[in-house]
Each structure stands twice: as C-alpha cells, then as structure tokens.
Chain A
C-alpha cells in the first residue's frame, strides 16, 4: 500500500517519510518548488524576469562548493547522487545502502550554500550546451516541446527545461544568486526520505541541521488565455514521422481531478483495452508505439496522445469522432471503475521503487497536493467527471506536432 508519514518542520520545510521495511537502500530527496517555468517572479515588490534554463543551470551548480566537489564526497560515502529539473520542480537526491546519516548531512550542506565563480559558470555553459545538443538529437523530446508550443503561445512550458544555447549564454552569476535566494527557502522545500528508516529520527535531524533561507518569492501565475493553437512540423532523421496530438486542459478544476480524470480518459482513448485503439490498429493507422502522456500543472496542462507513423491526421479525426460519441451516448461506469482501479494498482506497484515513489511525492508537493489525495481521488471519479473533461478534447484545444524525415 502507499504508506507515508509527513510533518511540517519549524523552518517551513515539508518532510515526508516513505517507510520501506526490509529495503537495503535508502533515498533522500530535497525538492524545491521551482522549475523551468518559473522565469518570472516578484520579490520584495520587484518584478524579475530571467533567461530560460536558469533553474536547470542552478541545479548543475549546486554540486560544487569552494572546497568540495559533492559528487566526489557522496561517492566516498558509497552513495550515488544526482538531480533533476522539470517544469515545476528542482530535486536533489542521493541513494545508498550505508552512511545514510552522513549523506543527509552532506545533502543539507550542498543545498545550503551556493558557490559561483565566473570561471565555473563558463565551464558549466559548455557542459549544458552539450546537454541541449543531446536533446536536439532526440525527436521524442522535440516533438513534445513543439506540442506545448502549439498549445501555448506564451506559457514558459513551451521552452525546453534546459533552455536554448542562446538563453543559457545570457545567464550570469547575479541572476543565479537571485534565483537561489528567492526559491531555495524553507517554505519552498520538501524533504523526502524513503527506505527502512525511523521517521522520528529523520524529522529531528532535519529540524536541527537543514538550514535554508526564509521567505518566498511570488511566482507569476500564467493562466494563459486560450489562444489559437498551432500545428508544428519539423524535420529530423527519423525512420517515420513521430507525432504528438496534444489537447490543452482547462485548469479550473483541482490537480487531483485533472490527474485522475486525465489518466482515465487517456486509457479510454489509447490503452490496449481501448475500442478506439483497436479500430486504429485494425485500420493500420496506429501501431504498438501508440500511447499517451498526461501533463498536469497548477496553471497549465496538456493531454498528449503520441505515436509513430504517417496517419496522425486521420488519428486526430478519429479521436474527436470518438469523443463526440462519448459525449452523445455516455460511457459505462463499470468501465471507468475498472480503469480507475487499474491506475490505483499501478500507483502501488510504482511505489515499490523508492526513486519513483519519492519523485512522485516531490511532484505532488510542487503542485500543492499529496500522493494519497491523488490515489484516493480515483475512488471519486465518476461518469460525470469523465464526461466533463472529455469535452475538452476538441479541435479548438488541439495541436498536432510532427517530426518527419527530410523530404518526407
């Protein structure tokens, strides 16, 4: 089952312990409610706009200190460490079978200060440039961001998490310090520990040792007015077209509702148990690459149907036809129950993996929800909720993004 113990510490940090009895490995993660979309914010009355890719850049720089290379220090403790940045979250974590206590001290120390020099910033730009070029060669990455560009005219979710070579070039020491001071604060932070640990000891240690700045910068809530969507096609070396058919979500319902309803609807449209999928496969329009991704943020969201092949336009038509069938004739509540229960089972299966469990908890923290609220929301999902959200899958909300081979 999904077992979780939580407590808010005095310094504002939200602390979660995910007990995993009998596990050899322990994992600790510090997640900040700060991601690639947070390039605009207000701090002490000032409005600040920063270059794309800054949250990710900062993530890279946290591993260095004046006298310490944190990778090295963690490795010496027999611990693996890494970090990631996405739209809403920057998270640092380590995992290991021993020295957990010392690892935790080191993790606290690592995020507790920032060490920047002109030289180490310049060096990092070279590394990040290669990271961006790696993504440039990944058609699945590009097709995904082009979908978000097609759905959103302004929202920073349209920009790649690492930014562009040009935007990264603009990043300066002052900007990094500003973003660190604004977002790496107690109130903006969650500590997540998974493994065979005593929650009380974790809470006490964090209370004592985790020192973060106070305060909180105000993020800009974009909540972009729905504009006209745009279909985007790009050329890259691929064996056949790689496509995304994205639908913008209405963001006026809760994150829990949109997550659960979104996943259930996507299963109705794309899972192997789906009638639509069966038809598409029979007609040779879709194949085993057909699938989905449900992106849910507080003030943005996209339901993306993806696959590979030539027939994306016909698939898009069939999807909207199928939706009108459901809106006209309804949908059986047993079917929705079955899908919702399957989603719950999958959440439990995924929670067996300490990393996937912790990153889901981090993701929930940055969206002001809890993993159990989402888990339990599946019980509330009914025909009306599904019909309400399925109506968003219409042409006005749709953008098709395609990567195809040169000259194809």
Chain B
C-alpha cells in the first residue's frame, strides 16, 4: 500500500486497483493497550455505532447505510500491545463519497443519547466469549501467559469497569490521542481519497504511536492452568515463547517452519495426532507475530492430554528441511492470495505499520523464497503456559 502523510499522526494508505467491484476503506484509531483505558476505548467503538448528530439513532444510521448500499462495522482489534478501533466500510464506488461523509459524521459528531445500549453491547461481547469454548481456551491461555504484559489485557475491556466509564471523556481521549490511519483498497484514486479525507475527517495533528512491546521472554517454570466446565471434549491450548525477532528475516523462517509444524493438514501435528493416532478432529499451531508467541490448540479427550503434549514435543524435534520447498510455497501463496482480499491487504499493512517494518507482501514473498533452511529456528523456544478446559 502507498503511504501519504496527511498531517502529523494522520496517514493515508491506499491501494488503487480495479480488481474489486466494491470500494473498501477503514479508519483505524490506534492506542496503546492499557488496563486503565481498555474498557473506555472499547466502549467508544460501541457508542459510535449508536448514532450521530445527523442520524440520531442506530436505526436511522442503518437506514442511511441501506440508502447508500454500504456495509459498516466498528470493532476493536488487539494487535501486539495496541488496542485499535476500526471503523470499516464497504460500498459501491458511486457511493464512496457518501460513505466518507457518513464516516465523518460518525467520528466527529457523535451523540451520547444511547450510552446504556452501548454498555449493554460491550458487556454482551465480553461475556459471550465463554460460549465459544475453543476461542475461550485460547484467550485464557494468552491471558495467563501474559498476565504481567500489556498483551494479556483483554482488548474488549472488562465488565467490572463498564459502569464507571465517562463516555464523553473516553471519546475525547480517543479522538485526541490515537494514531490515525486511514486505509483504502479499490478503484478510488489517491487524489480523490485525499480530498475526502481532508474534507470529512478533519483530525488535528497528534503524536504517533510506537510499539514498545517486547518479544523476548524466558519464563523459568511452565504455568499449568486448568479450568472446569460442563463440556464434552477437553480444549487444550499451549502457549510457547519463540524468542524470534518479528522484524527480522528469522521471522519468515518461523512462518515456514510453522507450516511444517502445525500450520496445515499436512503438518507434523495434524498427521501424528489426527491421521495416525485418531486423537482429535482439530489440532493446529499459529504464530502471534508481535509477541513472538506460538499458540497450539486441540480438542481432545482429557485422558489424552499427555499423549498430545508428547506429540507436540516430538514434532518440534522432527521439523527438518525435507519438505521446506512445499512449506515455502505455501507461505508465499498465502501472501499472494491475501492480495485478492481487501481486508487482508489492509490487515497485513497494519501489521507492517505496527512493526515499523517496510516490506510489502511481494517483498516478504521474495524473502521467503530465499530461505534455505529452517532447522533450529525454534531452538530458543520456551514453553510458557499449558491451559486445559476440562469437565
């Protein structure tokens, strides 16, 4: 994506392409993730959806969106140790200006008539996590693992903090202090976008945000965490510290090695635990780049926990370069395929921006093609947390 600085702390990233019928754009308000402000910031994302000066209720806002055939969402993302409010729009190109105008109304002229509803929505979001047992297990694993780090803070905030939030104060804090990143993918030209951004999104200058999270950690003991719930199948989540610099070329090796380890249906974990031992339906590993963490998750019978842990350990020892070309192709392809989706283009760019790491997807793909070996890439790993949700 091409970067244009509109003013200090406000930048525009664009990818002009005729590949897509729709115009997709988003406004990202990036803030440091802190326990004191997490809930207030999350609540701002909810109140913005509840109406603005021109469309004073959620319903009037929704009617306007239908009139301009636009899909909108406002959500909270946690990336590294940042909490990001994303106001997202997808529209037909002929309605792009209307959608920008609406974005401006929503961000700059909010009304605070429906604070209770916003609070109810946020509470529902936080509380319903437990209904998704897989996600719950992974989130709890991370929460325990990073209890002393900002990354362990819940991006949606905390139920007990909701009532005391002063929404106007929270809104002003977000608008004055967030790093503003506007992104657009589609047929709208850069000069048009600049014009819309200047006209409808009159953000003042501000200091940018810089990522200060550490990717290094060497806990001395493994945290074993268990929780009980009335469930049919145990949910295992393991958190491992890789201690690999996410800004370095080593990170690309980690991506390739993860493919071999547990990234797909042909990986060590999948073949050993599922195909050979019939121990599970799903088992996989993925990398959380900003913190250099690997999360492994599986749905298993509780009695098989140790067997699966053994398979995980063996899989680390079994990664070798025999299938490295296949794994490289798979990672390169996932970068190339990401270019077919506006959301993934924006998501990847955001990751790069947070890491202050310039390569675009094509350059990343080139780096991966050059890799000769991934052996030993996980040698600095330390097992941190083993979480099990059981009955």
Binding site for B on A (CB under 8 A): 1, 20-25, 69, 71-72, 75-76, 78-82, 95-98, 123-124, 126-128, 130-131, 133-134, 136-140, 236-240, 242, 271-275, 277-278, 281, 284, 287-289, 308-309, 338-339, 341-342, 345-346, 348-349, 351-354, 406
Please name the 4 residue pairs, one residue from A and one from B, whose CB atoms are nearest each other, closest first.
A126-B278, A78-B329, A272-B62, A273-B62
Q: Which residues of B contact A277 (CB under 8 A)?
A: 59
- 14 pairs, CB–CB < 8 Å, chain A vs chain B: A23-B340, A76-B326, A130-B301, A134-B134, A134-B233, A237-B130, A239-B130, A273-B65, A287-B121, A288-B121, A308-B124, A338-B63, A345-B69, A354-B340
Number of A-B contacts (CB under 8 A): 161
On whether the beta carbons of B22 and A352 are closer than 8 Å, the reply is yes
Indicate the member of A127, A128, A341 with the most B CB atoms within 10 Å.
A127
- Chain B contributes a number of interface residues (CB within 8 A of A) equal to 61
Residues of A within 8 A of B229 (CB): 237
Contact with A along B300-331 (1 / 0, CB 8 A): 11000000000000000000000000100110
Residues of B within 8 A of A (CB): 17-22, 57-59, 61-63, 65-67, 69, 71, 90, 92, 117, 120-121, 124-125, 127-128, 130-134, 229-233, 235, 264-266, 274-275, 278-282, 299-301, 326, 329-330, 332-333, 336-337, 339-342
- Taking a contact as CB atoms under 8 Å apart, the answer to whether B133 and A137 are in contact is yes
A160 to chain B, nearest CB (A): 13
Residue pair B337, A25 in contact (C-beta under 8 Å): yes
Q: Summarize A's interface: helix, strand, loop or mixed.
A: mixed
Chain B residue nearest to A81 in the complex (CB): B265
| A346 CA to B73 CA, complexed, in Å | 14
**CB closest chain-A residue, reference B57:** A278
A339 touches B66 (CB 8 A): yes
List A contacts of B336 (CB < 8 A). Answer: 24-25, 97
Q: Are A133 and B264 within 8 A (Cβ)? A: no
Establish whether residues B125 and A348, one from each chain, have CB atoms under 8 Å apart when the complex forms. no
Chain B residues with CB under 8 Å of A21's CB are: 19
Which residue of chain A is the closest to B125 with respect to CB atoms?
A: A288
A residues less than 8 Å from B17 (CB atoms): 22
B66: chain A residues at CB < 8 Å are 273, 338-339, 341-342
Who on chain A is nearest to B327 by CB? A75
B117 to chain A, nearest CB (A): 6
User: Smallest distance from the beta carbon of A403 to chain B beta carbons, Å?
Assistant: 9
User: Are the CB atoms of B18 and A22 closer together than 8 Å?
Assistant: yes
- Tell whether, in the assembled complex, residue A272 and residue B59 are in contact, meaning their CB atoms are under 8 Å apart: yes
Contact partner, B231, options A22, A137, A242, A309, Cβ 8 Å: A137
Q: How far is the CA of A224 from the CA of B232 in the complex (A)?
A: 33
- On whether the beta carbons of B59 and A274 are closer than 8 Å, the reply is yes
Give Cα distance in the complex from A21 to B20, angstroms. 9
Q: Which residues of chain A are near B18, meaning CB under 8 Å? A: 22
Q: Which of B66, B90, B92, B132 is the most central at the interface, judged by chain A CB atoms within 10 Å of its CB?
A: B66
* Alpha-carbon gap, A95 to B57, bound state (A): 43
Among B57, B130, B282, point to the contact of A134 (Cβ < 8 A).
B282
Q: Chain A nearest CB: distance from B99 CB in Å?
A: 12
Q: Which residues of A contact B333 (CB under 8 A)?
A: 25, 78-80, 96-98
Bound CA span A69–B337, Å = 24
Q: Is the CB of B230 within 8 A of A236?
A: yes
Q: Is the CB of B281 within 8 A of A281?
A: no
